[in-house]
Amino acid sequence: MDIETINRIKSNPKYQKLVATRSKFVWKLAIFVFVMYYGFILLLAYLPEVLGASIGSGVMTVGIFVGIAIIVISVITTGIYTKRANSEFDKLTAEIKKELKESENV
């Protein structure tokens, strides 16, 4: 990739928007997963009795719900990212590529 192409892409506001919105979105999701998982780990290490607390009159505990919920939420976060990337980010990328091609043909 030559320096001219690099500058042309970098100065495209759509490219700047793509990079900024995507990285903000991605780090938000990643930090969410981090906090969820390490929060769970710290709970296990320091306050296991919270997870062992029973729900209602049966044997069901908070921990079972939390555990299954972490698995389900992890899958959902991948779905949320995939959905937004498939529409918004892919559309922006396609436009950047198209504009690059047009500017090269001038």
Partner 1 sequence: MFKNFMAVAFVATTLLADALEAGLAQGGVNVPAVVMFLIFVFATLGITYWASKRTKTAKDFYTAGGGITGTQNGLAIAGDYMSAASFLGISGLVYLKGYDGLIYSIGFLVGWPIVLFLISEQLRNLGKYTFADVASYRLRQKPIRILAAFGSIAVVLLYLIAQMVGSGKLIQILFGLPYEFAVIIVGVLMIAYVTVGGMLATTWVQVIKAVLLLSGATFMALAVLAYYNFNPGELFAEAVEAHPNGVEIMSPGGLVSDPISAISLGMALMFGVAGLPHILMRFFTVADAKEARKSVFVATGFIGYFYILTFIIGFGAIVLVSTNPAYLDEFGNLFGGDNMAAVHLAHAVGGDLFLGFISAVAFATILAVVSGLTLAGASAISHDLYANVYAKGTVDEKTEMKISRIATIGIGVFAIFLGIAFENQNIAFMVGLAFAIAASANFPILFLSIYWKRLTTRGAVIGGSLGLATAVILVILGPVVWKDILGNAEAIFPYQYPALFSIVVAFVSIWLFSVTDKSDQAKLDREAFEAQDIRCQTGIGAEGAVEH
Q: What is the binding site for partner 1 (CB under 8 A)?
A: 1, 6, 9-10, 15, 18-19, 22, 26-27, 29-30, 33, 36-38, 40-42, 44-46, 48-49, 51-52, 54, 58-61, 63-64, 67-68, 70-72, 74-75, 77-79, 81-82, 85-86, 90, 93-94, 96-98, 100
Taking the alpha carbons of 29, 33, 34, 39 in that order, is the dihedral positive or negative? Answer: positive
d(CA 37, CA 1): 40
Pair of tokens at residue 37:
């998982």
Residue 45 or 106: the one with the smaller Cβ distance to partner 1 is 45
Smallest distance, Å, CB 50 to partner 1?
Answer: 9
Partners of 61 in the beta sheet?
Answer: 54
Smallest distance, Å, CB 33 to partner 1?
Answer: 5
By CB atoms closer than 10 A (0-12, 13-18, 19+), residue 88 is: middle
